[in-house]
Structure formats: C-alpha cells, structure tokens
Structure 1
Amino acid sequence: MYSIIVVPPPTTEDENHRTQIRMAPGERLSFGRSDSGNDLAIAHEGVSRRAGEITAQGAFWILSNLSREQTYVVENPEGAGEHIKVGPGRLDAPVPFEFSRIVLPAAGDLLAIQVWAPRHDYRSADGLDGATTAPAFSVDRTKRYFAVLAALCEPRLRGEPHAALPTVDQVVDRLRPNWPAASRTSVQWNIDYLAVKLRLKPGPEEADTGPRLNGKKESLVSLALRFDLVREDDLVVLTEPVPRRVAR
C-alpha cells in the first residue's frame, strides 16, 4: 500500500492535470535535470543533474539533497511559515509534515515539488493491562474556558504565526455573540483559571494584571499551539453558544 504521494512541478503540458506519483514504504524517487538516471526529470537549467531523492517510510518520508551548492527548503503549507532546511549533500533528512512543499532554487526561479503523507499509524491499546495513563493536559472543549483559549489562539491559527494576541476586550467582543454575558471580568477569570489548569502558575490567588497578564496569555497560546490543545477545527466553538457554566 502506498504511503507517500509526490506531485511534480507543473509544466506547460500538464499544468491543469498534474501527475501524481504514489510510493509504497521503502520506495525511492530520484529527481533532477537529467532524463537519465532519474525517476523524475525536471527540465530546468537551474536544477542539478542529480538533485535529490525522496524515500517513502511508513507514515513519513525522508529527503536527500544531492546538490553540491543549493539548500532546499521544505515548507509546511498549513503551518503558517513552518519549514525545515536541507543543506547541500545532506542525506536522509526526515520530514515531519503531512503536507509538504520542497522548494528548489533554480536560476532565479523557485520550483515546488509537493509531497503528501496521508497515512497515519496509531498504536492499539488492545491487550494492555492496568490503569490508563493520565492525559498531559486535560481540557474540556464544551467549557467556557476553552472558548476563551480558542479566541486567544484564533489569529495564529488563521495563518498569522506572529500576530499580536487579542486583548481581553477583543476576546469579549469575539465571544459575546454566542455568550451575551461575556465581560472583562469573566474572560480574565477564565484566563487565570487556564493558567492554573495548564500549570503555568501555582494558584489563582496570584492576581496578575497589566503587562503580566499579556505574558500569561502568550504562555497559554504558546503551550496550546505547541501541543495541539487547540486546532483550527476547534475554532467552531467561537460560532456555537457556550455553556452557561463558567468553567469546571
């Protein structure tokens, strides 16, 4: 069964009907300018004769840069600027993105090879004895505190990785259509509760205000996005009525 799909750069002939190359685990795909010795020929004078090699693994892939001088960039189109660099001569660099774009600098042009890794493998818990492992972060997506957290994360989840975080007043305005009773006090209470719940501060008795509150919001958003506590799909909570209970 294939695990990797490679979509070559478009040409004038196939721009509207791009070829897809499907690879099974262990298969290799070499690419470069030369028709000879490459599985995928890229007809551009700025591409090395033997430019690189893609190797499919079970649920990810690795890239070898066979160029002597050019650094390749592998972008995550869904990661708001997330990317890795694969330097000249680097072999077997693992690529962790489900959707990727290899950018080849070629004599003033930037050529893109898309690589998709749709296969997801998960470990089955069948047959394991004993108590289950406690989750690292326990959040309830039906609670108001999660709607507050989603509102804080929204700008960066919308594709602006360095966007300024919304102010408390902006969070109130964002939530009020579905939470008419939202106020500065209730939103700040939920931010403070989140900081305790996610173990960013020892207890709610520490009343943070002013600039320290901004630092707390930054820490909350950084933690939530780093560990996928809030994903883009979760932003639907901002358009649904939130429960009446404030938190727990």
Structure 2
Amino acid sequence: MSGVLVHLPSEERTEITPASEPVSLRLGPGDVARFGRGSASVPVDLRLACPAVSRLAGEIRVTEDHWQLSNLSTSQTYLVENPEGAGEYFRVPPRRAGAPVPFEFARVVLPARGAAVSFQVFAPDHAYLGTSGMADLAGTGTLAGFSLDETSTYFLVLVALCEPRLRDESTVAVATTPQIVERLRSRPGCERLTARAVSSHIDYLADEKLRITAPVTGPGQGVRRNGKREAVAGLALRFGLVREEHLGLLPPRRPAFHRPGVAGA
C-alpha cells in the first residue's frame, strides 16, 4: 500500500465550534498522524475543534499494507464506519492501541456534544495476491467454499433477499417472500415467479448452496421460514457472496415496493 489520505471536511460555525477549512493529509508507510483538540503544549496533525474531544484523542499509523487506529482517550469509544458497506462498523475502545482497519474507505467517528465529530480515511490501493503460479502446486484442486451461479434465478432471489441491507435501509430486516416476488416480476424470465418458487429457491440456497445446518426453531412455520431467510442473507453478506454491484441484476425499483401502505404510492 502506497499510503493513505486523511480528510477532515470543513465545518460551519456553531455555538460550540468555530468554522474551519477542510484539511487533507497524505501519509506513507511508517508515518503517524495525531488527532485531537490540541493545544499549545499538545500539537496535533489533525485538529478537531470540539470541547468534547480530548486534546490528544488518538493517532493513525500507516504500515506497508494497512493502517491502524489508536484511541488515546481514557473514557470515549470511537467508531470506524465503512460508508460503502451495509452499515458495517467496529468499535475502538478507550486506550486501544493499533487497531487494524480493513476498510478501503473509512469514517472515524468521535462522540461529541451535538453532532458527532468525524473524519475520513482513504486507502485506495490495498494489495491482493495474484494467481500466477498457483495452478502449478502439487495435489488435488481446492474446492470452492460456496459455489453460486450468478446467472441463475436462485441468485436473483438471494440478491433481492439481501437488498434492504445492501442499501442500508435496514441492518436487521430482509425482504419477505411476497416482496421478492414483486421485486423480480418485472425482470425478463421472472414474470411467472411465484411465492412457492421463491421459498424453494431459499430452501435450496440454505440446504445445498450455503449449507446452513443450524436448526431454525420457532413455534410456527412462519417463524422458522423467517429464521431461514435471515440466516441465508446473513451468511451471504458476511462472506461477500452478494455485494452492492449485484444490485444491478435487479429491475429498477418502484416506490410502491418500499413504501407499502402509503397513500398515492
């Protein structure tokens, strides 16, 4: 990784904080940038003009292949969000040193009075292993953990199932069977898709493709069905089997699909 770009957007003047200009820092491997409220005796590279932020709140350290965040506060927990993910984030507790950040684009959020204080970190060139030479290794080939055909109907059902989380409309809910039927019906080849067919595709994904073996319990069939749908979507999203680019496989959205019960929708 050649380095990262740290960007602090401009802030409008408020009763608590003065107006500020945007700040951008370019850091290479081995560089360290400290952030916080700062003072004459506590210099910082990224000044966060908020009285709720520690004078020396934390630091960013760039390594050869990733960057790390240290929380130097004794009481505040920071969040690192992935703005391009489906609500993905992790916490950095007080005094945590060198927490590795896996996101290529991250937002660091510090608690404050009123609106939270945040800045962005861009690490656009993460390194990936190539495949040259791998085919010459001796022994039998490695089987794929999950083998999905992205041209199949069951994959379309999977994408529609995960759509609310991929669009960050809900971190918990997944699409219902009737919603999936309505969502896909305008796509060529899916005009005759039924609720029973969607349920069969979800069963096939759970039992054969994703091999979800944990029992889904509940007092009724509807509860068990909901648990299976949530398990399928959760596993697919955790392992990146369905990603934002797959939303392009779905037909254009209609407002009525996402606003049930609203007059005039």
Instruction: Give the TM-score category using the shorter length.
Output: 0.7 to 0.9
Partner of 2:109: 103
Is the contact made by 1:55 and 1:63 (CA closer than 8 Å) also made in structure 2? yes
Kindly state the Cα deviation for residue 235 of structure 1 after the two structures are TM-superposed.
1.4
Is the contact made by 1:59 and 1:118 (CA closer than 8 Å) also made in structure 2? no
Kindly state the Cα deviation for residue 113 of structure 1 after the two structures are TM-superposed.
1.3
Partner of 2:67: 61
Aligned to 2:119, the other structure's residue is in SS state strand
1:217 counterpart (205, 229, 232): 229
1:28 counterpart (32, 37, 40): 32
Q: Measure the CA separation in 1 of the matches of 2:104 and 2:154.
A: 30
Q: Measure the CA separation in 2 of the matches of 1:42 and 1:188.
A: 51
Note the alpha carbon deviations across 1:216-247, whole angstroms, 9 max, x for none: 2111111111111111110122129xxxxxxx
Q: Measure the CA separation in 2 of the matches of 1:109 and 1:89.
A: 23
Note the alpha carbon deviations across 1:75-117, whole angstroms, 9 max, x for none: 2223343322222222111122222111223454521111122
Equivalences for 1:121-136 in 2 at 5 Å?
121-128=127-134, 129-130=137-138, 131-136=140-145
Note the alpha carbon deviations across 1:153-187, whole angstroms, 9 max, x for none: 11111103434322222211111111112112322
Aligned to 1:239, the other structure's residue is in SS state coil
2:212 counterpart (169, 178, 200): 200
Kindly state the Cα deviation for residue 10 of structure 1 after the two structures are TM-superposed.
1.9
The one-letter amino acid paired with 2:39 is S
Is the contact made by 2:35 and 2:57 (CA closer than 8 Å) also made in structure 1? yes
Kindly state the Cα deviation for residue 190 of structure 1 after the two structures are TM-superposed.
1.4
Kindly state the Cα deviation for residue 9 of structure 1 after the two structures are TM-superposed.
4.2
Worse-superposed segment, 19-28 or 76-85: 76-85
The one-letter amino acid paired with 1:24 is G
Indicate yes or no: 2:5 matched with 1:5.
yes
Q: Measure the CA separation in 2 of the matches of 1:16 and 1:141.
A: 47
Aligned to 2:226, the other structure's residue is in SS state helix
Q: Measure the CA separation in 1 of the matches of 2:12 and 2:114.
A: 18
Is the contact made by 2:59 and 2:71 (CA closer than 8 Å) also made in structure 1? yes
Aligned to 2:250, the other structure's residue is in SS state helix
Is the contact made by 1:154 and 1:235 (CA closer than 8 Å) also made in structure 2? yes
Is the contact made by 1:2 and 1:22 (CA closer than 8 Å) also made in structure 2? no
Kindly state the Cα deviation for residue 11 of structure 1 after the two structures are TM-superposed.
4.0
Q: What TM-score results when the alignment is normalised by the length of structure 1?
A: 0.83
Question: Relative contact order: is structure 1 or structure 2 higher (C-alpha 8 Å, sep ≥ 6)?
Answer: 1
Is the contact made by 1:63 and 1:91 (CA closer than 8 Å) also made in structure 2? yes
The one-letter amino acid paired with 2:76 is Q
Structure 1 unmatched ranges of 5 or more: 203-207, 241-248
Q: Measure the CA separation in 1 of the matches of 2:66 and 2:149.
A: 31
Equivalences for 1:153-232 in 2 at 5 Å?
153-178=162-187, 179-195=190-206, 196-200=208-212, 210-232=222-244
Is the contact made by 2:104 and 2:126 (CA closer than 8 Å) also made in structure 1? no
Q: Measure the CA separation in 2 of the matches of 1:44 and 1:191.
A: 49
Q: 1:68 to 1:127 in 2, by over 3 A?
A: same
Aligned to 1:46, the other structure's residue is in SS state coil
Q: What TM-score results when the alignment is normalised by the length of structure 2?
A: 0.78
Kindly state the Cα deviation for residue 70 of structure 1 after the two structures are TM-superposed.
2.4
Q: 1:37 to 1:143 in 2, by over 3 A?
A: same
Kindly state the Cα deviation for residue 7 of structure 1 after the two structures are TM-superposed.
0.4
Q: Measure the CA separation in 2 of the matches of 1:43 and 1:165.
A: 40
Q: 1:120 to 1:132 in 2, by over 3 A?
A: farther
Identical-residue share of aligned pairs (%): 47
Structure 2 unmatched ranges of 5 or more: 14-18, 215-219, 253-265
Is the contact made by 1:9 and 1:111 (CA closer than 8 Å) also made in structure 2? no
Q: Measure the CA separation in 1 of the matches of 2:77 and 2:172.
A: 28
Indicate yes or no: 2:56 matched with 1:50.
yes
